[in-house]
Amino acid sequence: MPTDIIMPQLGESIAEGTIVKWLILPGERVEKDQALLEVETDKVSLEIPSPAAGFLTEVVIQEGQTVPVGTVLARLDTVQPAAGVINRVGGVVVRPMAPSGEGADHYSPAVRQLAKEQGVDLAQVTGTGAGGRVTKKDVLDFIAKRGPLKLAAPAAQRPAEAAPAAGEQIVPLTPMRKTIAERMVKSRQTAAHVVTFFEADFSGAARAREGLGLTYLPFVINAVTRALKDFPILNSSWGDHGISLKQDIHIGIAVALEDGLLVPVVRYADRKGLTQLAKEASDLADRARTKRLSPEEVQGGTFTITNHGGTGSLFSTPIIHQPQIAILGVGAVQKRAVVLNDAIAIRPMGYLSLSFDHRVIDGATADRFMSKVKEYLETSKWETYL
């Protein structure tokens, strides 16, 4: 009995998704809950598991295509196809396509149109899609190596793109990279960014984490959540009708990926101990890197922390994650010589930065908030927060 694979509802506000890669080749068998394909939305990139066991007998939507939620992407059958699989484009059966790549000379209308506009001979393009098919990404990669795009619109309507200089290579933008770019630019255009820097002594946290296998991140999260209760205006967002104060504290943790950045959220972070915070932050980061997050896990944050110090960075001026009004950057914790009681001592020190929206708070409020974060990091009896 055939089973339809449909584009799932990947979150309340998500209406469509892009097929990044089919992880199972046409004709191959897939087990129930095994990763079948990789999908990317404007919020997250994740792997979609197979709803049933069977053979991938029909591929309806090709890699690189963006389709609405509910669209049939492919079909599974319990019986292995004897002579290849069926490939559909736009809902029309074109002809059997063997997993070995036979039939790869058939191109979708979108691929043909792009090739026509750019003057590309599709016979020269190597297909990386299901069954060896040529996808739009393959054509764009070919164009990038060959030279500049030949835009279909008249030159008078659009500025001509400069040809790549010798030794340059054009890397096509992924949907995630485009989304990040748009959001970062929008944040800079929307919020009145200001940054303040503080230095904190991590000696207490360093002693508390010994033998527990904890990083400094859960200690920072704990200090931040307590400071947010002292200054609830930092746990808010700007709106046309006023400033929206959030009653719950949900901390976003920036996670760097190979091709972008995700900000999964630790919910109700103020209600959790250091061990639980460490466990959840680590789990979210691991699943972000392996594309196993759900869209809901990257939504609803009220304040964000970015631990850029993990790669050795000391200072950072992070961009606010909209619609929040602030983001805290954590630099590398390093042993440095500091003056304590008129004597020089060696302490594990780290720089903290706070990018904040000057529309919502002023510098004095931001500094008082950071002073509290510093105080909690330096003076807390951490054994009571495990």
List, by residue number, the catalytic residues: 358, 362
Q: Under a CB-based contact definition with an 8 Å cutoff, are residues 335 and 345 in contact?
A: no
Distance CA(30)–CA(28), nearest Å, equals 7
Specify the residue for token string 């630790």: 266
What's the one-letter identity of residue 69? V
| Local structure of 295: helix, strand or coil | helix
Strand partners, 19: 39
Nearest to 235, CA basis, from 118, 76, 356: 356
Q: Under a CB-based contact definition with an 8 Å cutoff, are residues 251 and 304 in contact?
A: yes
Strand partners, 70: none
Distance CA(183)–CA(298), nearest Å, equals 14
Residue 125, both tokens: 């393009």
Distance CA(80)–CA(206), nearest Å, equals 58
Residues with Cβ within 8 Å of residue 176, at least 6 apart in sequence: 40, 45, 259, 260
